[in-house]
Every structure is written in C-alpha cells, then in structure tokens.
Structure 1
Amino acid sequence: MRTIVKGASLVSPDDRLSQQDFTRLADIIQNHCGIRMPPAKRTMVEGRLRKRARALNLPSVHEYCRHIFDDGALDEELVNLIDAITTNKTDFFREEQHFRFLSSSGIQALTQLPHRPGRDRPMKVWSAACSTGAEPYTLAMVFLEWARLQRDFRFEIFATDICTDVLARAKRAVYPEEMARAVSPDLAARYLRRSRNRDDPTIRLVPEVRRSVHFGHLNLMDPSYPMATDMDVIFCRNILIYFDKPTQLSVLKKLCDHLSCGGYLFVGHSETISGLDLPVSAVAPSIFART
C-alpha cells in the first residue's frame, strides 16, 4: 500500500541547512546579538533562510550560505540575516499586569521622587526590545491617560530594537486588528482607528500616540548604549530568555546604568534575574526598582 502525505513537498539536499553551516550561523548570531541558537532551532533557521535565499534569487539555502561565507557577502547581508532569524511576537497590553502597575501606583510613585520626573522634567521611558511597536505604543496609551488627569505631566518614550524590518513596521503603526484585543473599549475609542476594509481588518494608532514614541536602532550587545542615563522606566521583556547567563548579566548591568534612582525595570514574566548582582530590588513579580 502506498502512503500519500497531503501537502508534502520534496526538498532537495542543496536546500537543506548543513550542520556545519548551522553551527557557523549560530556562532555569528550569538556573537552579534547574544541570541542562542540551540540545535532544535535548525529547522526554523532553515525555513527562514530559504525565504531569504528566494529574495536574493538564490536557488537554495546551500547557495545562500556559500554567498555569505565564500563570496564575502556576510557584512552587507548581516542586517538581513538578523532580521530573518529574530522572532518578533507581540501584542498590545501583553503581560497586562505591568501596565496596570504603572497606572495604579508606579507613575504616581515616580512623580514623588526627589528629582520629580514628569514635573521638573519629562518622565523618560525606554522600551529596549520594542519589536513591531506594540509595547511602546501601549506605554504611550498608559502615559497619555495619566497626562489627561495631570495636565502638567510630561513624558518621553524611546523604543529601540536590533531588527530594522520591525522598526520600519513599528513606525507605520498599522497592525492586524487581533493584536489589539486586550485594548479596553474606551482606550480603543480614543487611540485606535479601525480600517474600513473588513476583509483585511487592521488598526492604526492615532497621531497623538505615534508622536509620543521615538524609534531607533540599538543592539543590546553593544558595549555601551547611546541613551540617557536618567531613564525612569525601562522595559526589557522576553528577550533575556534568549541570552546565556553572562550575556543577561552584561545587558542588565548596562540597562541599570541608564536607570535613575527609584526608576523601574520590567522584565518578562517568564524571565528571572534572581541571583544576579544588580543594583535593584523587587517591588512586584518581574518588576524591580533601582536602589
């Protein structure tokens, strides 16, 4: 009896990622942006490089690897390689407890610090791995709501990422409607505009939200960051899990160097910084204050 697998397709050996090429690629990715690529990621990397090969009119993954390793194209291709490999999954109000903390007590506590952020100077907020922009735009909605109640309140939001493709998408500020499911009806009415095309339902942030966020390219593996050293809120969520412990410590120390005394550091709910020698103390799950 012959078995037929529906939807299956044959892939030539040349369109497979060899172990040797995968190892070389994994080393490049970890050295450049700190992200580990364990053997289990090989199939995922192969699939994404297959798409990148087609974009360059190369016939196979093998030819793509030969292009960057043997033809000397790695330097010019590196940004595209990182863009292809990095995963960028995000939604508005993801891990909502963080934003609820800011709204309920965090922003108020910050305004009462001796240096009076939000009053004597704008409160400074940094989304340090912003992906396609849902996180910093969510922060913008939270801070705009606070500013509606405190009319003399000022803030600035900075958003950075290593991936140039997601930064371009973030600046467009157009998203599938399903990404905004967690946005409350009143916030959606104020800050979101839905498309009229119900065959492709999308939302776009209103100009007031878009103007509140300043985007820029930054690699967390860089030895220093071109950011202000008096940030009041830093979000660095769901990226640390891809780093080994030494890289986590290095990145977190640099982030803390940019955090003002009493300022808040937010990490992902699945991430832990316990046991790391950092100048912060826990104030809530995955929320820390600079000591």
Structure 2
Amino acid sequence: MISPTEPEYLLFRDLAKQELGLDWTRDKKYLLETRLGPRLEHLGISSFTAYHQHLQQLGSVDEKQYFHNAITTTKTGFYRDKEDFAFFRKKVLPQVYADDFAESSPAIRFWSAGCSSGEEPFSLLFEALEELEQRRRYQKPFDLRILGSDVNTDMLSIGENALYLDHQMEDLPEFIREKYFRHAAGTGRTAYQVVSEVRSQVQYRHFNLLDRRYPIATRFQVIFFRNVLYYLNRPLRQPLLNRLSDYLLPKGWLFLGNVETGYSIPGMQKIHSNIFCKTP
C-alpha cells in the first residue's frame, strides 16, 4: 500500500483544513494511508504528491468529493447519546408543539447539521411523530420537516435510501422498529428500511458548513449540531456557532455533542453544558 511521506502528510493536512476546516493537530497519517492508499493504486497514481496535484486540476470535482468522503468522520447511530434525546423528548418537544399549535398552520422545522448516514434526523423524526400522536386532540394540520445536511455524499445516500442493517438498529426501541421500519428483501443481508411516508419528511442536502451561503430559506425550532465542532479547527468554531444561531427561531434550541462544552453564544442561554436556548 502507498504511504505518505511527512511532507506529503502536511500537504493533505493543509488541504483538509482549507476545504473542510478539519483540525489535524493529531497525526492522521494512518488515515491517509488506509483510506486513500487503495484509491491511489486504483487510479494508477504512484505517490500522494501526484494525487495532491491531481486534486488541484480543473475537472477534478468528483475526485475532490471522493477525497472529502474519505477523510470525514462518519460515526453515528440511532438515539446516540440518549440523555440528549431524553431532554429533547421531555423539555423541547412539548415547548415546540405548545408554541406551534397556537398558530393557525403550524410549521415545525428541525435541522441535523452533520447528519452522516441519517440515523440522527430519523431519531428526531420518530420522537416528533410520537409526541404529535399524543396531541391529536388539537385536530390541526401540521407541517413537520427535518433537514439533514452533510459534506459526505456517500453518507447522504444512505440516509436518502433509509436502509439500515440489523446491527445498526440495536439501540432502537422495539416499538419504533415495528412502527417505522419494514424488512427490506433482496439486499442479501438482514436490512430494514424506514417506511416511505415517514422518510419523505426528511430532506437531505449536500453542502459544506464553511460555505459562504447555505441553501436554506427557513429558520428552525431545533438544530442538532453534535460531534462536528470537535473535529474543526479551533478558530472556526465560535463563528460557526454564532452563524448557526441565526438560523434558529426565537426560543429555538441548539444541541452540541457531549464533549463540545465550554462555549457561549450571544443571544442564547446555556441550559446544559451542550444545550442552548435562543432568547425570545
């Protein structure tokens, strides 16, 4: 397998920082070797220097996306960090529904920023639907939509297909599995797919949170931005948090990862170390 030299590693460290804002203060040479070494062999490229030059060429958009997909962290799971979802269920959803059902045509919008393969936005959706079911007595039409965004197109494709293997669903409550999934035949493995009428309520979009403009024309009651900040270059973190807060409605909620603590955001109250609420 082709291995990067130290100067080559530094080239790609700078490229990852420039394009995705990634902080490679810890040695990531192994990541280049294991995830991109086979790619170089497939392309017939003999060194990481030559591959770096290849990425800079005009018309290399598809290969640049392959590079982005290869170096991003994709770990996720249904109901990951259950304490966040417990707070979301007990505190956030009742407030969101109480406020929105006071409107004539309630529109409910959540955003999973850095959604990976879709488990997080679907977890938000399942919780929202379960809470809504308890409020059927209102007999009002509602418009519930969840946005999942990521820079990794491979992961977004998984979310769009909403197809998950049995081991990926181990943390799902049994009644959620039975209610919102159907066995997917013909996959060659034990797999389940989110039912079509439910998965249509999650929309996936590919964009980089470092982009100057986001393809978003709405504001949200809730943004989950968990376990992304940790991987970003430190000077980018606070401006990005400030920017995301602009996409929240008054009284909107922002969730960070459990290890992403110690931040303050103008115009937002810190409720827990990783949970913020926008002032009305």
So what's the TM-score if we normalise by structure 1? 0.85
Aligned partner of 1:17 in structure 2 is 4
Structure 1 residue 42 corresponds to structure 2 residue 29: yes
Q: What is the match of residue 87 of structure 1?
A: 73
How far is 1:191 from its partner? 0.8
Equivalent residue number for residue 215 of structure 1? 204
Write the mapping of 1:115-154 to structure 2, written as runs, cut at 5 A: 120-151=105-136, 152=140, 153-154=142-143
AA in 2 matched with 1:217 = H
The alpha carbon displacement at 1:108 in A equals 1.0
What is the CA–CA distance in structure 1 between the aligned matches of 2:58 and 2:205, rounded to whole Å? 28
Q: Given the alignment of the two structures, is residue 98 of structure 1 paired with residue 84 of structure 2, yes or no?
A: yes
**CA shift at 1:284, angstroms?**
3.0
- What's the RMSD between the two structures over aligned residues? 2.4
> What CA distance in whole angstroms lies between the structure 1 residues aligned with 2:103 and 2:237?
30
Match 1:67 to one of 39, 45, 54: 54
How far has the Cα of 1:23 moved from its partner? 1.2
Superposed, 1:174-189 pairs within 5 Å as 174-189=163-178
Q: 1:191 to 1:119 in 2, by over 3 A?
A: farther
Distance 1:52 1:38, change over 3 A: farther
Q: Provide the rounded CA distance (Å) in 2 between the counterparts of 1:28 and 1:126.
A: 28
What SS does the aligned partner of 1:130 have?
coil
Q: 1: distance between equivalents of 2:45 and 2:23?
A: 26
Corresponding residue SS for 1:248: helix
Measured against aligned partners, the alpha-carbon deviations of 1:126-147 in whole angstroms (never above 9, x if no partner) come to 0011101110111111111122
Q: Which has the larger radius of gyration?
A: 1
Letter in 2 for 1:141: F
Give runs of ≥4 in structure 1 deviating > 4 Å.
Answer: 59-63, 71-76, 115-119, 195-199
Q: Deviations over 1:179-231 (max 9, x none)?
A: 11111111111012234689722221111321110111121111232324521
Q: Which of 250, 254, 268 in structure 1 is aligned with 2:257?
A: 268
The CA distance in 1 between the partners of 2:64 and 2:216, in whole Å, is 24
Q: Aligned-pair distance for 1:73? A: 6.4
CA distance, structure 1, for counterparts of residue 83 and residue 11 of structure 2: 40
Letter in 2 for 1:154: D
- Give how far 1:257 is off: 0.5
1:59-101 per-position Cα deviation (integer Å, ceiling 9, x unaligned) = 55454345335x6665552211111111101111101122222
TM-superposed deviation, 1:163: 1.1
Task: Give the corresponding residue for 1:5.
Answer: none
Other structure's SS at 2:204 match? strand
Does the CA-based 8 Å contact 2:241-2:265 persist in structure 1? no
Contact 2:23 2:234 in 1 (8 A): no
1:158 aligns with 2:147: yes
Distance 1:264 1:119 in 2: 22
How far apart in 2 are the matches of 1:209 and 1:100?
21
Cα distance between partner residues in 2 of 1:119 and 1:176: 40
Q: Does 1:287 align with 2:272?
A: no
Counterparts of 1:76 and 1:198 in 2: how far apart (Å)? 27
* Per-residue deviation, 1:167: 0.9
- The change in CA–CA distance for 1:235 and 1:118 in structure 2 (over 3 A counts) is farther
Q: TM-score, normalised by structure 2?
A: 0.89
Distance 1:73 1:155 in 2: 39
Letter in 2 for 1:121: P
- Which residues of structure 1 form unaligned runs of 5+? 1-10
Q: Unaligned 5+ residue runs, structure 2?
A: none
Q: Do the aligned partners of residues 84 and 247 (structure 1) sit closer, same or farther apart at CA in structure 2, a change above 3 Å counting?
A: same
- Residue 13 (structure 2) pairs with residue 26 (structure 1): yes
Identity of aligned residues (%): 28
Q: Contact (CA 8 Å) 1:89, 1:131: kept in 2 or not?
A: yes
Amino acid at match of 1:49: L
From 229, 241, 266, the equivalent of 1:240 is: 229
